Structure 1
Amino acid sequence: MNRKSTLSKIKDSRVVRVIFARKSVVFCLCVLAVLILASIAAPLVAPYDPYKQDLKGMLQGMSTQHIFGTDAMGRDVLSRIIYGGRVSFTVGLVSVLIAGTAGMILGLIAGMAGGLVDAVIMRVMDAMMSVPMIIMALFLGSIFGKGLGNICLAIGISMIPSYARVTRGQVLTVREMDYVTAGTLCGASKMKNAVSHIFPNCVSSNIVLMTMNLGSAILNEAALSFLGMGINPPTASWGGMVNDSYKYMGTNAVIAIAPGLFIMIVVLCFNMVGDALRDAMDPKLRGTLGKKVKRSKGKKG
């Protein structure tokens, strides 16, 4: 009984209803699932070794043997795209976790402490936000150096201000709620109120922001790799592949277009899913979205 009730709650939850009411979002989720699974199982899925060079077969066009051709080193482009997905998804996930964790902690401290602490934290965040994210990531990347871990750290730090500001705004609203005041009157400390009552109400908006920033992080990693500040070669990354192949656009454009197309697809899919999550979790949109979902179900019936 407990299992059935839990499954029914998940099935009837608002987030699931809103997401599955949009065919475009379901399609994006399927695309992301296929790409992520292919990246995880890259040794089994990739038709060739992505690092094996064949100078006799370099810069080949599209064929049945090499679907996206070969690069200037004779390496199979499709295999390198599949392996490059590992780098892109890892950078996206790790950098967003770094930014979300640090940003929510700073926002919670700023909102709860107030006064000088709040002013100092938020002025630092404002100063960071005044610099474009890619410029900040480029600056931090030049300090930390190349490599997967350093790139994740650079992109993660550059995205912290957005989480801090969102969390602080939520904290300032939630801490004035009646149940928080009741907890204080019952003897709950400020720390207990922050952890038990205020912070959980700040998570949903940050989850939406994380979903959208996954695409931004992948795009920033591709930009850094394209500028030569990203992943160390010969490790396959989509931005690095574009950087290596754009000079052959006149003779063999597909080897540069293919990784760029995958970047565009992944970023678009994450943005679509994040937009659907925002609509599902935003209380202001609940009435209108509920009517749309019921209308769609009525038309099907």
Structure 2
Amino acid sequence: MQEKEKRRIKLKKISNSRVARVLLARKSVVACLIILAVMLIASVFAPFVAPYDPYKQDLVNMLKPMSFEHIFGTDSMGRDVLSRIIYGGRVSFTVGVVSVLLAGSVGMMLGLIAGMAGGIVDAVIMRIMDAMMSIPMIIMSLFLGSIFGKGLGNICLAIGISMIPSYARVTRGQVLTVREMDYVTAGTLCGASKIKNTISHILPNCVSSNIVLMTMNLGSAILNEAALSFLGMGINPPTASWGGMVNDGYKFMSSNPVIAIAPGIFIMVVVLCFNMVGDALRDALDPKLRGTLGKGKKKKIIKQAI
């Protein structure tokens, strides 16, 4: 028994090593991870990184152009744009992580219930998910946001609910495949209950695909928050958010376009980085999808990992 456990641990380490090597084989992915890490650290330690108070108004210096004193200039109330971008990263990363965790946990639970229960339970849950998926995510977020109201918590809830169907469908598909495997059947024959089989064998096999989906949906959640804030249904002012800054700055595109362009670039970079990392993670976890690596390089990475 101890020998089997040691072998299982060794195989797990080899698998984790292979995933890490494949994931970090692309220089673009490494660059994206560094960019995201720098932005996240700057957002967490914003009070020490930001050069100015992002909420302090200085009407004498409003709409100042780019300079050494104010790298991205100042907005219509004289607030430093760079400082507000740094603080706005807190809102964006918080919305991304909280809404994705909410959607992932609820969606996986619904997918497990639908896949294992089958019959009318499966039909009801999946028809509700299909109905939700037929509505574009931004429209669903706007609808839920109008019901819940503004505020960080309400926006996280609205975006999280709008992303639940994708996790439910992915998890259900995995459950329908895994529950027919021999080891699940063997567990049932040995007296394991359906709940124990679900937790011990089926749920772990659904996690990797959902982790990939979560990584890619982080960018979508941040983009949705920016869109809601731009439309005036997101974070309450004067709290700094990238979408709200674009909304405030687009009115001055002719005189001082940097006010709107700078936060827009940060949104674009973060979403692009999360999408690239999610795509690479998908390739690393599923060997069938490693189409972007050359055959020789793939063999070399797998050989080194083993």
The two structures have a TM-score, normalised by structure 1, of: 0.94
Q: 2:190 aligned with 1:186, yes or no?
A: yes
Say if 1:296 and 1:223 are closer, same or farther in 2 by CA, change over 3 A. same
**Is 2:257 the partner of 1:282?**
no
Q: What secondary structure, in the 3-state scheme, does the structure 2 residue paired with 1:100 have?
A: helix
Q: Do the aligned partners of 2:103 and 2:164 also contact (CA within 8 Å) in 1? A: yes
- Alignment pair present for 1:80 and 2:84: yes
1:201 match: secondary structure: helix
**Which residue in the other structure is 1:239 paired with?**
243
Q: Does 1:49 align with 2:53?
A: yes
The corresponding residue for 2:225 is 221
Q: 2:123 & 2:58 partners in 1: Cα distance?
A: 59
* Percent of aligned positions that are identical: 82
> CA separation in 1, counterparts of 2:32 and 2:116?
38
- Superposition deviation, residue 292 in structure 1: 2.6
Map residues 1-301 of structure 1 onto 2, 5 A cutoff.
9=13, 13-285=17-289, 291-294=296-299
Q: Given that residues 174 and 201 in structure 1 are in contact (C-alpha distance below 8 angstroms), is that contact kept between their aligned partners in structure 2?
A: yes
Which amino acid is 1:293 matched to?
A: K
Structure 2 distance, partners of 1:162, 1:294, is 33
Instruction: Give the number of aligned pairs.
Output: 294
After TM superposition, the score normalised by the length of structure 2 is: 0.92
Cα distance in 2, alignment partners of residues 231 and 263 from structure 1: 16
8 A contact 2:65–2:256 mirrored in 1: yes
What amino acid sits opposite 1:150 in the alignment? Answer: N
Q: How far apart in 1 are the matches of 2:60 and 2:114?
A: 61
CA drift at 1:9: 3.6
Once the two structures are TM-superposed, the CA of residue 282 in structure 1 deviates from its matched residue by: 1.3
Q: Secondary structure at the match of 1:61?
A: coil
1:159 aligned counterpart, secondary structure: helix
Cα RMSD after superposing both structures:
2.1
Asked if the contact 2:282–2:289 (Cα under 8 Å) also holds between the matched residues in 1, the reply is no
Could you tell me how far apart the structure 1 residues matched to 2:149 and 2:249 are? 23
Deviations 1:139-196 (A, max 9, x none): 0000000000000000000000000000000000000000000000000000100111
